[in-house]
Structure 1
């Protein structure tokens, strides 16, 4: 599992499938390039809060991705998590359940 680094990858993921959840929005796009590695991108805009809040949210999303994506994610796809306003107050277990549900939704 590697990270997305270029803006064009985030924009390409935006054209894929999306699963809005209360704490975040999941974007997923299969790359079709015969590379089986999963890539993850995390973004939290300034609308969500100050730098401390945004960084804490990104840390939680990274931990969630490490925990859930190896088993539930789609190999050879880009996954992007976009933080939402209510995401930082949500319980970690609730976020984890939402991520599993969102991944099942975009895999269909």
Structure 2
């Protein structure tokens, strides 16, 4: 499997992206959205996937966004990625014009928030949600 950095594999199969979207802790941000899913296998290496929709630009722009995110993932996610977890990065158009240091910083912040939410557990996440409208 291709690697972004030592110990961080790249997700390629659609089924993995769908599972990560369905069962993930989701963190939104102005530059990058992060979805983190624990696969439940602590022996498996962490994986990262990149999503850039056609709505954000043409092929050249989308490829440039993915290149920037790959390097940012190597710097921000690889050192603190948890074994057995999938991380999906959803690019926003702002990734094209943002300073690279800000992308890395925002991605690191999103990763810390995702790990914090995952540590709280599903019952805590449900109680933190606002009540349904009456």
TM-score by length of 2: 0.76
**Structure 1 residue matching 2:27: 3-state secondary structure:** strand
1:100 shift after superposition: 0.6
- Structure 1 residue ranges, 4+ long, deviating more than 3 angstroms after superposition: none
Report the RMSD for the aligned CA atoms in angstroms.
1.1
Q: Which of 56, 76, 88 is the matching residue for 1:68?
A: 76
Q: 1:6 and 1:87 mapped to 2: Cα distance?
A: 24
How many residue pairs were aligned?
108
Name the structure, 1 or 2, with higher relative contact order (CA <8 Å, separation 6+).
Answer: 1
CA distance in 1, matches of 2:46, 2:17: 14
Task: Compute the TM-score of the two structures, normalised by the length of structure 1.
Answer: 0.94
Distance in 2, Cα, partners of 1:59 & 1:85: 14
The superposition leaves residues 15-61 of structure 1 with CA deviations (integer Å, 9 ceiling, x where unpaired) of 21011111110000011023330101001011111111100000000
Where structure 1 has 5 or more consecutive residues not aligned to the other structure, the ranges are none
Q: Is the 8 A contact 2:41 2:83 kept in 1?
A: no
